[in-house]
Amino acid sequence: MPLWWDGSEPLWVTLQKLGKKVFMYYWPGCEVEILSVRPSFCEKYVYNPSEKNLTDSIENALNVIRSGQAGMTAIYYEKIDVEGHHFGPDSPQVRTAVQQLDLAIQTLNRKIKEKNMVNQLNIILFSDHGMTKIKWMEKVIELDQYINMSSIAKMMDRGPVVSLWPQDNMYQEVHNMRVYGKQEIPDRFHFKGGRFVPPLTLVAEPGWFIAQNKAMLPYWQNDTGEPSAWQNGWHGYDNEFLDMRGFFLASGPDFKRNVRAAPIRVVDVYNVMCWTLGVKPLPNNGSWSRVEYFLNGSEGPSQPMTLCCLGLLGLLLALWN
């Protein structure tokens, strides 16, 4: 749907337009034509990638960058998010998924050394959100207890954030969640100026889950055939809530070494990526002042013309614990 996809320009589209090739692995959206552009290579997103999917994509990404076939590669690894939703962020399943990722990153580091790419390759690892434990079925906000659902023209999603298009603009206080009219949405969400913002945005307090009612929620079928909790972890709560924090790690020639940076915002990552690729960022919500001090040469006036300094980007969805 061009209305949806063509609303903004992802970095890979900018790079392709500039003649720099991008190879993407399991990245949601890479299979779509955006502003008439596709990445040079796209391995379609999978919900539950295997360890082999991850290690193969790392190997391929390194090879295409080294051979000059790609100017940037991006890998998305969903496993930690999936296990976190299902079993909760503190579960042994999440720990195992993080250990698998850790092993894959160790392999990546070894290969970078073997291939003599240490001084040529910028690597950015980050998550786009954290995760918190939820009390499934104990902390459900059932909207149909507060409002007449037939007066709602449209309801989108369930969980920490729900969008409502009511027929009238009446609404009331509901415990354990905030109700925002368009203009009341906090600026720190970088949301209220969007094209698809509903008249009412509901945001649950941490640990709570908004739904029309409990009966409409699905269950996982576990091995015994008994219904068990569908979800034990979730994200999407207010970004001031510490559990929502992700992580950001970077190394390579464009990054100062051994710097422990103050927290950055997820909207800042784009500027960092553009810097390492020598591309002028499009207008965005990131703050250069939050990131420039950990970049090499950011005080100088000119961009380095090093096309060898290419980004390998892993987007990792998890609490890093």
- In the complex with Zn ion, the residue whose CB is nearer, 81 or 254, is 81
**DSSP readout, 98-127?**
HHHHHHHHHHHHHHHHHTT-TTTEEEEEE-
- In the complex with Zn ion, the residue whose CB is nearer, 58 or 318, is 318
- In the complex with Zn ion, the residue whose CB is nearer, 43 or 81, is 81
CB of 236 to Zn ion, least distance (A): 8
- In the complex with Zn ion, the residue whose CB is nearer, 48 or 169, is 48
CB of 78 to Zn ion, least distance (A): 8
CB of 203 to Zn ion, least distance (A): 16
Q: What's the CA gap between 278 and 314, in Å, rounded?
A: 19
CB of 82 to Zn ion, least distance (A): 7
CB of 232 to Zn ion, least distance (A): 12
The residues binding Zn ion (CB under 5 A) are 81
| 3-class DSSP assignment, residue 244 | helix
Q: Which of 229, 52, 263, 51 is nearest to 140 (CA)?
A: 229
Which residues does 278 contact at the CB level (< 8 Å), separation at least 6? 303, 304, 305, 306, 307, 309
The 10 Å Cβ neighbour count of residue 20 is 18
CB of 217 to Zn ion, least distance (A): 16
Q: What's the CA gap between 82 and 96, in Å, rounded?
A: 12
| 3-class DSSP assignment, residue 317 | coil
Express the helix, strand and coil content of the chain in percent, nearest 5 each: 30, 20, 50
Query: Taking CB positions, which residue lies at the least distance from Zn ion?
Result: 81
- In the complex with Zn ion, the residue whose CB is nearer, 54 or 94, is 94
- In the complex with Zn ion, the residue whose CB is nearer, 171 or 189, is 189
